[in-house]
Amino acid sequence: MQNIDLGKLILRIIGGGFMLTHGIPKLMKLLSGNMSFGDPIGVGPEISLGLTVFAECVCALMILVGFKSKWATIPLMITMLVAAFIVHGADPFGKKELALLYFAIYTGIFFLGSGKYSVDNLLNKAS
């Protein structure tokens, strides 16, 4: 079923690679010491920024390469739900749409797994 594995790879490239375009600017902000960030869940802007950077950079990279993808989707799914329903809760659907689209991609990866073209598959072959 190579088509299924190719589909999984495409989902991972889109879900992980595209998310890095959102996460890397936040990582640069964090590394520069600029902690001004929203506090949508009430844990403080610094922690909110750190959690978001972890999800949008570390977890996105894990998904991109296919390493523990199922686990890596969980922080990203939570982040996207917070973005859609808390950060953009009062906004029209168009503002929520991108976060919900990412959420759908991560949900698919969660249920489908990394696939044949992944670090997970390489590690499973080695053991």
DSSP codes joined into one string, 17-84: IHHHHHHHHHHHHHHTT------TTSS-HHHHHHHHHIIIIIIHHHHHHTSSHHHHHHHHHHHHHHII
pLDDT for the residue numbered 126: 83
The token pair at 102 is: 């990412």
pLDDT for the residue numbered 7: 95
With b for 16 or more beta-carbon neighbours within 10 A and e for fewer, the 95-125 pattern comes to ebeebbebbebbeebbebbbbbbbebeeeee
Distance between alpha carbon 41 and the CA centroid of its chain, in Å? 18
pLDDT for the residue numbered 1: 57
pLDDT for the residue numbered 127: 73
The string of pLDDT tens digits covering residues 56-113 is 999 999 999 999 999 999 999 999 999 999 999 999 999 999 999 999 999 999 999 9
pLDDT at 16 over 60: yes
